[in-house]
Chain A
Amino acid sequence: AQTVTQSQPEMSVQEAETVTLSCTYDTSENNYYLFWYKQPPSRQMILVIRQEAYKQQNATENRFSVNFQKAAKSFSLKISDSQLGDTAMYFCAFRGPGNKLVFGAGTILRVKS
């Protein structure tokens, strides 16, 4: 069974600074996808970024980028130029051939002005 671990329950960052959220996972699969989802307070969960395991190049989406280390089974999210609207719960998630989305425990990120 796959597991996803987010070891940082809460983090804070100053506006305009950079922050990195950690995620590790465990799987015996070779082909899978990794996702970061964002859930703002009282708002919908949305996809931030996704990474295919077979792609060596790290995914980027504007201010969001990942550091995917397949051998280490690590998938961290870097948020550059943090904005107040980035305040949210961030979930790392794994999806393999079984098609279930396995979530980590989440990291609450607070962006301070």
Chain B
Amino acid sequence: DTEVTQTPKHLVMGMTNKKSLKCEQHMGHRAMYWYKQKAKKPPELMFVYSYEKLSINESVPSRFSPECPNSSLLNLHLHALQPEDSALYLCASSLGLAGAMYNEQFFGPGTRLTVL
């Protein structure tokens, strides 16, 4: 299984809603990532988890709250988002972080989020 899955595929939410994005992988990877991608732009790193611990937070607003319940699962909790947060949210995973520059990141298909 060389797949990263993400649910839901599409999400429309109001600015007062609370929702969650889910990401799953069963490749035994110990590093997991959240990226935000606007149309025709490169992915922007948001968070990195290494061995279920948050290792990088790219100064993301607190209305985005990541969670890594176990080594296979990564969540992104959303609350009080703004219309400018509308984007494709990508999850990725890789074998590990420590000394592993060559490790390929496997990307999920993304969740297309629209904030009204």
Contacts and interface: CB of A to CB of B under 8 A. Distances in A.
Interface in B90-113: 90, 97, 100-102, 104-105, 107-110
A110 interface: no
A33 B102 contact: yes
Query: A45, A46, A47: which has the most chain B beta carbons within 10 Å?
Result: A45
A22 B44 CA distance: 21
Contacts of A95: 101
Contacts, number: 45
Interface residue range, chain A: 20 to 34
B42 interface: yes
A85 interface: no
Contacts of A89: 40
B109 A91 contact: no
A27 to B, nearest CB: 12
Contacts of B48: 99-100
A104 B56 CA distance: 20
B56 A47 contact: no
Interface string A73-97: 0000000000000000101000111
Interface in A26-76: 31-33, 35, 37, 43-47, 50, 52
Contacts of B42: 91, 103-106
A43 B3 CA distance: 13
Given A50-B102, A101-B45, A101-B105, 19 more contacts: A31-B101, A33-B102, A43-B109, A44-B4, A44-B108, A47-B105, A50-B104, A91-B42, A95-B101, A96-B101, A99-B48, A99-B101, A100-B45, A100-B48, A103-B42, A103-B43, A104-B42, A105-B41, A106-B42
17 contacts: A31-B101, A35-B104, A43-B109, A44-B110, A45-B43, A47-B105, A50-B102, A89-B40, A91-B42, A95-B101, A97-B101, A99-B101, A101-B105, A103-B43, A105-B42, A106-B41, A108-B40
Interface of B: 4, 40-43, 45, 48, 56, 90, 97, 100-102, 104-105, 107-110
